[in-house]
Copies of this chain bind each other. A is one copy, B any other.
Amino acid sequence: MNEPIKADFDIESGSYADAALGFRNHWYPALLSDEIAEDQLVPLVMLGENILFKRIDGKVFAVRDHCLHRGFKFSAKPECYTKNTITCWLHAFTYNFKNGELIAIPSAPNSPLIGQRRLHSYPCEEHNGMVFAFVGDLAPPPPLFDDVPPGFLDKSWTVVGAVNVTCACNWRVAADSGFDPNHVFIHKEDGLMDSLQRSFPLAQRFQGGNPFHSIEERIGPGPKGIVDQLGKAEPIFEFTFECDGEVGHMQSKYPPDEMAMRGFKSIQGSMWLPCALKVEPWPILDMAHYEWYVPIDERNHRYFIAWGKQTDSDESRAAFILEAKTKWRDIGFENFNRTDVIANNACQESIEGVRYGRNQVLCESDGCTMAWRRFASKHNRGVQVRQ
């Protein structure tokens, strides 16, 4: 048999297959804003690095969670003698939290190390209820704007981070699946459809079979990503097959009406470096959905969701922020994207011990996945390796 698609994929797989720890020199969501209060220290692992966050006078800063001297992890027993500093429990090496500079050693007050050595300091920015950190070496870092999906920083919209959950699988499993319009099959019994009385397809079929070569690329300036062709796809609500004389039948829970069909035709998915998906409109017509798959280590990632809506007043803005964190967190995450978490975690075993993608047989309907892997391989700023 011929395998033109898999061959295609193999040629293009490139650095994505090596990026178990994600792509270096990019901005990533680290926390939701309300997960770090003034003066609070929060230790996290991102892309395999131990990072310690602190909010000082309202602004979040981050340094490597590892004292230069003996390697003690500050967060194991943190001491702060001023709001701007972190002191190592072992020998009182004291650093400026805002830039990582070593500023004092009580046992060696005149050491030439003071003022010369510094902890790695991670640039941070905070927008839309989310704290972002830049993991890499570029100084200054590129603008955050280049590393978030279009519209996310748009002032005319209210966008709000509402979900941060840790998932037990590599970030690429989630990224591949999130941008794959055919993973809809796992959602066929989700509560979201009942809540919205919405029909939902079992699959999407593309004109001509494979959308791979016609997927639209955006290579900047600004965010880099790819946009799917879902509007050209045919949603499938019913499917029948035959095997050894028996007939199998799959059917969506709610059959589509004309309005639902128009809705499906208008949805556009897009995938942005380093690891963000945008779906719009979603979960309802006047909203946008953003999600990120942030590498923790080779086997875990953090899953963030933000929702956006155009608002025209401080009141409507405040109301939507509350709605996102309650109603949409319940309907959109607990009764829909939670299923993605379950499905993705169940795939982790299958990728252990093999080069990513190697034991898969992609087909005509995997054009989006193939395009994302190729695009990410080509346009990332570097593959993260264990530091």
* Chain A interface (Cβ < 8 Å from any Cβ of B): 1-2, 66, 68-73, 76-77, 81-85, 87, 89-92, 94, 96, 98, 103-113, 116-117, 176-177, 180, 182-183, 185-186, 202-205, 209, 236, 239, 241-244, 246-250, 342-343, 346-347, 349-351, 353, 359-366, 386
Other than A71-B351, A110-B209, A113-B361, give 7 A-B pairs with Cβ distance below 8 A.
A71-B347, A73-B349, A76-B346, A87-B248, A103-B243, A104-B241, A106-B185
Whether A91 contacts B250 in the complex (CB less than 8 A), given A69-B362, A106-B185, comes out as no
B209 in contact with A72 (CB, 8 Å): no
Which of A104, A185, A362 has the most CB atoms of chain B within a 10 A radius of its CB? Answer: A185
A69 in contact with B103 (CB, 8 Å): no
Whether A92 contacts B249 in the complex (CB less than 8 A), given A185-B106, A363-B108, A365-B108, comes out as no
- Look across to chain B and name the residue whose beta carbon is closest to the beta carbon of A369: B70
Whether A248 contacts B82 in the complex (CB less than 8 A), given A107-B204, A350-B73, comes out as yes
Contacts of A72 in B (CB 8 A): 343, 346-347, 350
Please, how many angstroms separate the alpha-carbon atoms of A249 and B107 in the complex? 14
Whether A91 contacts B350 in the complex (CB less than 8 A), given A83-B246, A107-B236, comes out as no
Ranked nearest first, the 10 interchain pairs of A and B with the lowest CB-CB distance are: A71-B350, A81-B248, A107-B365, A107-B203, A104-B241, A106-B203, A82-B246, A76-B346, A1-B116, A108-B364
Please, how many angstroms separate the alpha-carbon atoms of A45 and B89 in the complex? 31
B73 in contact with A236 (CB, 8 Å): no
Please, how many angstroms separate the alpha-carbon atoms of A372 and B180 in the complex? 53
Please, how many angstroms separate the alpha-carbon atoms of A97 and B84 in the complex? 63
Write 11 A-B pairs (CB below 8 A) sorted by A numbering: A66-B359, A69-B363, A72-B343, A81-B248, A83-B246, A84-B243, A91-B185, A94-B248, A103-B242, A108-B364, A113-B361
B243 in contact with A96 (CB, 8 Å): yes
Contacts of A176 in B (CB 8 A): 70
- Look across to chain B and name the residue whose beta carbon is closest to the beta carbon of A76: B346
A363 in contact with B111 (CB, 8 Å): yes
B107 in contact with A182 (CB, 8 Å): yes
B363 in contact with A106 (CB, 8 Å): no
Contacts of A243 in B (CB 8 A): 82, 84-85, 94, 96, 103
Shortest CB-to-CB span from A44 to chain B, Å, is 15
Which of A106, A182, A183 has the most CB atoms of chain B within a 10 A radius of its CB? Answer: A106
Shortest CB-to-CB span from A220 to chain B, Å, is 30
- Look across to chain B and name the residue whose beta carbon is closest to the beta carbon of A354: B71
Please, how many angstroms separate the alpha-carbon atoms of A76 and B366 in the complex? 22
Contacts of A73 in B (CB 8 A): 346, 349-350
Contacts of A353 in B (CB 8 A): 386
- Look across to chain B and name the residue whose beta carbon is closest to the beta carbon of A109: B205
Whether A244 contacts B107 in the complex (CB less than 8 A), given A71-B347, A71-B360, comes out as no
Please, how many angstroms separate the alpha-carbon atoms of A247 and B81 in the complex? 8
B360 in contact with A105 (CB, 8 Å): no
Whether A183 contacts B69 in the complex (CB less than 8 A), given A84-B246, A205-B108, comes out as no
Please, how many angstroms separate the alpha-carbon atoms of A102 and B28 in the complex? 40
Whether A68 contacts B361 in the complex (CB less than 8 A), given A89-B343, A246-B82, comes out as yes
- Look across to chain B and name the residue whose beta carbon is closest to the beta carbon of A238: B106
Shortest CB-to-CB span from A250 to chain B, Å, is 6
